[in-house]
Amino acid sequence: MTTPLDAARAFLAEDFDSQTRAELTALLQRAEANDAVALKDLADRFTTNLVFGTAGLRGRVEAGTARMNRVVVAKATWGLGAFLLEQGPHHGVDAKKQGVVVAFDGRLSSRTFAEDACAILCALGIPVHLFFDPEPTPVCAFAVADLKAAAGIMVTASHNPPADNGYKVYWQNAAQIVPPIDDGVMQMITRAPKANAIARMHPPEAAAAGLRRIIGDDLELRYLDAVGRMSSHAAPAPGAEPLRLVYTAMHGVGHRLTIRALLRAGFDGVVAVPTQTDPDGTFRTVAFPNPEEKGALDLALEKARETDADLILANDPDADRLAVALKTGKGEYRALSGNEIGVLLCHDALTTKSTGTLKKLVITTIVSSTMLSRIARDLGASYEEVLTGFKWIANKAMEREKEGHWFCGGYEEAIGFSVGPIVRDKDGVGAAVRLAELARALKAENKTLLNRLDDLAVAHGLSHGTQWSVTLPGLDGLARIASVMQSVRVKPLAALDGHKVVRVVDLQTATIPADVVVLHTVDGARLTVRPSGTEPKIKLYLELVASVTSTDELAAARNTLAAKAARVQAEVKAALGV
């Protein structure tokens, strides 16, 4: 049996990066001297391998098979390239003709990983369409479709901590890979040569051979044109009071394109948070580069109060997510939840888009609010609910489009939104434009996004969502997460706040298995428990529902549901330890 020490020595022997070699050499020396902390660290790094989760490979950047580093990127790229060459023809893919798109965000190691991927694919004879500068994730997905590429690679860890990075793979349909493709790629990765033996083609050589192809600015223009065509609101009347916007890119790659997209949509004078506009892999002004996290929007809020902005828009570092806060009073702002933003965007599309004879379709995930299902039902639209991860939303949308549906939009509660078929992934740029256009149209009627949410609650039922998570890193954390999931399966809670649990759904036994357990109570409450697919966390989602007949009842109903949610959360924490 291979021990973590053996695995670490084998990794060191094939590692071609001086930084991770030095780091691992020092760690090995400590472990060989029986340093308990070093031995545990090695076990965390080398007992498992990274696998494609809800958003590809993702982990801390350091030496190890369970980490992100140049060895892992090299083998993943070789595995993808070999799969494309060997199995691609069976899936209608000609990699040597179509090529692979490679893009990267602004994290410290992203350009290096992207260049490694480019060099390895070119050595396999596969052309690479390379973005030479950091780019938003939705533009990478758009490029796969626009260039009719065989696949795409996006080097990003999205909203993860600064020490992390990741590697997303798109198939020729411009959606992230799903079974059996991801399983086939993972199997091919196990056949990869030692990382330092994988052939690489230097950039000048690859360019001279016509294999390294730099993507021009015209692709971004085509993306912006496509975003503009998705608009379903008329331009504001001459002299109308403008919607005042503050935008932050959260030290990511969204600033340039999002500002351009907003300008094209008629939003002049958008105020940016100046210290957060340019890519910075250290994310120096935020503790955690996720606009959902407490404190992440502090500088944007400061700028909004200074300019009396109506709305704050924030992308995460790779601009595939969108956070929103809106003014509720002088100097006062409220952040919208992912469910609220998703419902607003999807409802707006359902009620304003003209789709001819095609039936309108919206899609969300099993951990998102059920409110969208009620809206779709009441408006006569089609609705689908899929596993967590935007790859499932995108692939389901394309499946239903073949049956005569028009995909109006979809979302997941973790502030990820699609505003139609132009990008087969989350699109924080397009979502920012669509949300701003809706807010501007409502302002022309002396209304706000909150007024629209109130109207939707009265018309389709009130939903109250609470989500919390517990970070459990390392092997001990994995064991703890597995223990909690097993406990929920074997002995699920009998009641929530005194209301009997009448149905337990274990998605491990579903057609597409997932490590998710859902509890439903007699009064319509729903508790969903699952491990994160991108971070060492266990996540819990609670939804409570109520009916109201007028907006006058909303405040009391929301207070009642909030109090109940607090009681249920305390019960669950006590019962499960999370």
Q: Record the pTM.
A: 0.95
- The pLDDT score that the predictor gives to residue 235 is 87
Average pLDDT over residues 223-236: 94
Q: Sort 564 into a burial class: Cβ within 10 Å, 0-12 / 13-18 / 19+.
A: buried
In sequence order, the 6+-apart residues with CB closer than 8 A to the CB of 358 are 404, 405, 406
| CATH number belonging to the domain at 339-426, selected among 3.40.120.10, 3.10.20.30, 1.10.275.10, 3.40.50.2300 | 3.40.120.10
Residue 546 has pLDDT above 90, yes or no: yes
Residue 25 has pLDDT above 80, yes or no: yes
CA distance 419 to 424: 10
Average pLDDT over residues 527-542: 91
pLDDT tens track for 97-151 = 999 999 999 999 999 999 999 999 999 999 999 999 999 999 999 999 999 999 9
- DSSP annotation of 448 reads -
Looking at 269-366, list the stretches that DSSP marks H as alpha helix, in order from N- to C-terminal side.
298-307, 338-352
pLDDT tens track for 410-420 = 999 999 999 99
CA distance 393 to 410: 7
Banded pLDDT at 452 (limits 50, 70, 90): very high
Q: And the tokens for 498?
A: 């005194």
Is 339-426 in the same CATH topology as 70-222?
Answer: yes
CA distance 26 to 7: 15
CATH topology of domain 463-576: TATA-Binding Protein (3.30.310)
Banded pLDDT at 532 (limits 50, 70, 90): confident
- The pLDDT score that the predictor gives to residue 474 is 86
| The pairing of beta strand 526-531 with beta strand 517-521 | antiparallel
Query: Which residues in 366-492 belong to E strands, given as ranges?
Result: 382-386, 405-412, 416-418, 462-471
**Active-site hit among 18, 109, 110, 158:** 158
| CATH number belonging to the domain at 70-222, selected among 3.30.70.100, 2.40.70.10, 3.40.120.10, 3.40.50.880 | 3.40.120.10
Element (H, E) at 433: helix 428-444
Angle made by CA atoms 98, 130, 49, in degrees to the nearest 5: 90
pLDDT tens track for 263-294 = 999 999 999 999 999 999 999 999 999 999 99
Domain 243-334 carries which CATH code? 3.40.120.10
Banded pLDDT at 429 (limits 50, 70, 90): very high
Residue 534 has pLDDT above 80, yes or no: no
The question of whether 158 is a catalytic residue gets the answer yes
- Domain spans, the chain: 70-222, 243-334, 339-426, 463-576
Angle made by CA atoms 36, 41, 43, in degrees to the nearest 5: 95
